[in-house]
Structure 1
């Protein structure tokens, strides 16, 4: 699995200077930035997206205390679950999960009282530890996903860390900050 598929948005609905895909309007062709009411058609994945090989995969370093590293891969929405599972278990050597914990919710930030936050953190980590679960989130540092990230970070930094917690963030390419740094320009695109 050396080459992964990538979504290139050819037709995006833009507002202001930034498109819904996360790129600037100037990164699109004129046809791509026409508003829906002008073109008379709704956005359609099969018509407005094309796939191409990418080299956006590898290891990533997360800054801050304890400098942790992880792996990332940019894949298509059409990539089969079997291929993704093979990548995670065979290539990245993650132990197969006994349980999947999907933490979803809005990306809007909210205040969580200290005792509720502590209960959430402890409960999530305990369930993940005792079941050998993978925690899956939207992969951003906002809303409930931020609390998941903080819980896993705090656990990883604790001296009593007994087992590894697997956390997988699934985010759209366009919302990833500094995403261009995740593409290896030295590799040829085939």
Structure 2
């Protein structure tokens, strides 16, 4: 791409079968694993829904909770943080919701992750909470270890 040429997704991106998918282990949660898949930015919602419900066997949600906000870290007083954590988990539990975030460990997304982690670590777990992080590939830490060299 020359210095005067502007970037264009259709011209400068080459789509190939994914070489990044599978199970991922979360060290802070003991043996807790999740699933991940690298998909194209224009993958249809129908294909993603099929992946989540048919391939990954997630129960269809009754509600989607999208938690968005800046990625800037901020301090939350303990009582407010606890209220946010309990409220988010209670709503997700009682409605069968999926929680969707930007998938990073910063800002409000970090608080969502901590709430889900704390719930998963508690001994009184009553059903799974589904949390889905949708992050751009370029910001994933150690993304190279998520690529399967045998695929492609």
TM-score (norm 2): 0.96
Which residue number in structure 2 is paired with residue 51 of structure 1?
15
Using CA pairs under 8 Å that are at least 6 residues apart, name the structure with larger relative contact order, 1 or 2.
2
Which residue number in structure 2 is paired with residue 71 of structure 1?
35
Count of paired positions: 152
Which residue number in structure 2 is paired with residue 101 of structure 1?
65
| Residue from 138, 163, 174 that aligns with 2:138 | 174
SS at match of 2:28: coil
* 1:117-149 deviation per Cα after TM superposition (whole angstroms, max 9, x unaligned): 000000000000000000000000000000000
How far apart, in 1, do the equivalents of 2:138 and 2:89 lie? 29
Bigger-Rg structure (1/2): 1
* 1:136-173 deviation per Cα after TM superposition (whole angstroms, max 9, x unaligned): 00000000000000000000000110010000000000
**Superposed counterparts of 1:1-190, under 5 Å:** 31=1, 38-39=3-4, 41-185=5-149, 187-189=150-152
Two-structure CA RMSD over aligned residues (Å): 1.1
Higher deviation after alignment, 58-67 or 119-128: 58-67
**More strand per residue: 1 or 2?**
1
SS at match of 2:34: strand
| Aligned 8 A contact 2:29 2:117 in 1 | no
Unmatched tracts of structure 1, length 5 or more? 1-30
Unmatched tracts of structure 2, length 5 or more? none
Task: Spell out structure 1 runs of 4+ moving beyond 6 A.
Answer: none
Deviation at 1:184, TM superposition (A): 1.2
Deviation at 1:113, TM superposition (A): 0.7
* 1:71-129 deviation per Cα after TM superposition (whole angstroms, max 9, x unaligned): 00000011100000000000000000000000011111001111110000000000000
